[in-house]
Amino acid sequence: MSQPSPSRANPIDPEREKLLGVGYGAGAYLLWGVLPLYFVLLKPTGAWEVVAWRILFSLVFCALLLTVVRGGWVRMIAVIRNRAVVGWTVLAGLLIYVNWQAFLIATQSDHVIESSLGYFINPIATVLLAVLVLKERVRPLQWAAIGIAVVAVVVIVVAYGSVPWIALTLTASFGLYGLVKKQIGGAVDAVSGLALETLWLAPIAVVQLVIVAATTGLTLGQHGVGHTLLLIGSGVATAVPLLLFASGARRVTLTTIGLLQFIAPILQFLTGVFILGEPMPAERWAGFVIVWVACAVLVADMLREGRRSRRSAPGVVSLAR
């Protein structure tokens, strides 16, 4: 009798899965980094209407994917039968809704730089969540990064004269969303997960559209074919990076996701300063420089821990315990 081939005996290659996870995660954050420019093009559609269409068109896009992908609806039904997993997807949907709404308000009110601040802080908040929820041990440099980030927020509040509510909301909502997706893990595939999240949000989206229609009026189809196509395309623009993120989060550690998150705020910051021309007074620069110091400390810790893990466990690549 012939022996089973190595590929059949070990169908899942951990190293390949990690590389795929990093690739998917990086792709998601690259797209999120340039997303503000897309939403600026959607004006005069307001943030509340845009978010509603994002939810509904994302749901339609996911339904198409479930139809095209072999066994898509079968997996979807299997997930729905698992009440515990369904509960996690409801929570994930609510968190991503808060994140979308805050991000659209930031983008359309000339606060892209502040949104980038939220995503700069987010990796540090991710470490804090890993400690508080997952009971991971905090290393000295991680505590230093958290402390420096707190100082940065205080400096911005005192020097700039206002609390960066948008940044803090984005940090909290997406940090918790990442944690929930990590808890879901491989129990839900990326398409089914996003389909369920948007399905639970569909009633909220409908209510928002009714309110917008009764107040300022809906803009879909009112500002030319190009604007209409862009608004419809917001579903794809929303779903693709989230699907990439979900695929990546299942394959790598929470800390690795935290490291990859720096891609998006860097691009958003550059967009806000150099493309959209948002103001950067000295006091805001001071706050951002302190945040960047915190990020540098966190990155240094991640890289050092990664080298230590590789030395202690040959052949295993890890950025966190």
pLDDT by residue (tens digit) across 233-249? 999 998 899 889 878 87
- Only one residue has tokens 């009764």, namely 214
Q: What is the pTM of this model?
A: 0.83
Q: Residue 169 domain-assigned? A: yes
Question: Has residue 10 been placed in a domain?
Answer: no
Residue 310's pLDDT is what?
Answer: 62
Coil, strand or helix: which one is 11? coil
Q: Is residue 205 part of a domain?
A: yes
Residue indicated by tokens 């706050």? 287
Query: With contact defined as beta carbons under 8 Å apart, do 115 and 143 qualify?
Result: no
Task: Please state the domain count of the chain.
Answer: 1
* Residue 275 forms part of a structural domain: yes
Q: Could you say which residues of the chain have pLDDT below 50?
A: 1-2, 5-9, 314-321
Query: What is the spatial distance between Cα 131 and Cα 153, in angstroms, rounded to a whole number?
Result: 21
In a domain, 222, yes or no: yes
Residue 63 dihedral angles phi and psi, to the nearest 5°:
-60, -40
Kindly state whether residue 151 falls inside one of the protein's structural domains: yes
Q: Please tell me the predicted confidence (pLDDT) of residue 227.
A: 94
Nearest-angstrom CA–CA distance, 73 and 143: 45
Domain assignment present for 6: no
Which letter does DSSP use for residue 274 in this model?
A: I
Domain presence at residue 172: yes
Residue-number span of the structural domain to which 139 is assigned:
16-308
